[in-house]
Amino acid sequence: MSHANAALTVRHRLKVAQLVVDQRVPISEVAARFQCSWPTVKRWADRYAAGEPMSDRSSRPHAMPAKTSPSTTKRIVSLRLRKRLGPVQLAAHVGVAPSTVHRVLTRCHLNRLAHVDRATGEPVRRYEHERPGDMLHVDVKKFGNIPDGGGWRFVGRAQGGKNRAGTPGKPRNKHYQPKMGHAFVHTVIDDHSRVAYAEVHDNETAVTATGVLRRAVAWFAVRGITTRRVLSDNGSAYISHLWRDVCAELGIKHSRTRPRRPQTNGKIERFHRTMADGWGYARCYTSETERRQALPAWLHEYNHHRPHTACGNKPPITRLTNLSGQYS
């Protein structure tokens, strides 16, 4: 690509070459007309006559005798994946400079340990479906219910215990302490746009999960998304016959992740972390009811206003075209 102050762009290089080769205009006259040197005109005329393109040639050398050998590169990558060592430790094993190891890791996209899966030691494989609705991720996130007056995370262990003991209407365990129970957040997120839908319930049964799926599919349909496939883990609700029958009724193909492999459903797992930080434990809620009432507002903020790195630092809703009120 020509630099900003180049006298000849690709288009003008072609004109220069055609004037010299095709129209037989003298090189000195063409150089004066385009205000460049005659060697420049001759160079592009010669390339045009030889049938070469008018674009810049690559500056990469034809031979690199000092380049790291493929066997060394393979050993560096193998040790990185198996032992998760840094450049200094890898250099000691391989016998090259740490800077060389770092260049190899960068070239192979392994310079950050975050790029390597902790469980398998293999490079992380990221995927994204082309259209909204091609894949919906579903899962359940469990939060402990907040006692009246606030939970221990904000008021401390001592006051949190008092608030828990003073919350009415809760069953008692064998130590006569109130059992606060859990809030089960059923979440659904679109693979392409990252637009999310969530509901809070008191259980994670198949009846509840299928009800959430029906409402989520309708919610996405209002926004122009036709659901074609859904991905879940191997939870009891998602392996039930009821879930199978509802997916067939809605015309949705159901897929499940491999056992003990949450990375496959990583988009919704990461959403759960964001939801916990932005809503679940974001501030001191004085009751569980107050926290549950705050979820719709946070979801609107997440979908319509919060920049998402996977969406080019734009809100997820911007990936849905022709949607009324998507910038509200």
Residues 280, 282, 287, 293, CA torsion sign: negative
Q: Which CATH class is domain 70-115?
A: mainly alpha
Query: Could you tell me the fold of the domain covering 136-145+181-319?
Result: Nucleotidyltransferase; domain 5 (3.30.420)
Q: At 1, is the pLDDT very low, low, confident or very high (cuts 50, 70, 90)?
A: low
Q: For position 260, what pLDDT does the model report?
A: 78
Question: Tokens 């959403």 correspond to what residue?
Answer: 271
pLDDT digits (tens, 9 = 90+) for 105-142: 999 988 887 767 666 666 666 788 989 999 999 999 99
Q: At 328, is the pLDDT very low, low, confident or very high (cuts 50, 70, 90)?
A: very low
Q: For position 83, what pLDDT does the model report?
A: 83
Give percent of the chain with pLDDT exceeding 70. Answer: 92
Question: Tokens 């859990």 correspond to what residue?
Answer: 182
DSSP three-state, residue 208: helix
pLDDT digits (tens, 9 = 90+) for 40-83: 999 999 999 999 888 888 888 888 888 899 999 999 999 988 88
Contact between 162 and 120 (Cβ < 8 Å): no
* Residues paired with residue 184 on neighbouring β-strands, in sequence order: 142, 201
Neighbour-count burial for 135-172, b at 16+ CB within 10 Å, e otherwise: bbbbbbbebebbbbbbbbeebeeeebeebbeebeebee
Structure tokens at 98: 């740490």
Q: pTM score, two decimals?
A: 0.65
Q: For position 60, what pLDDT does the model report?
A: 82
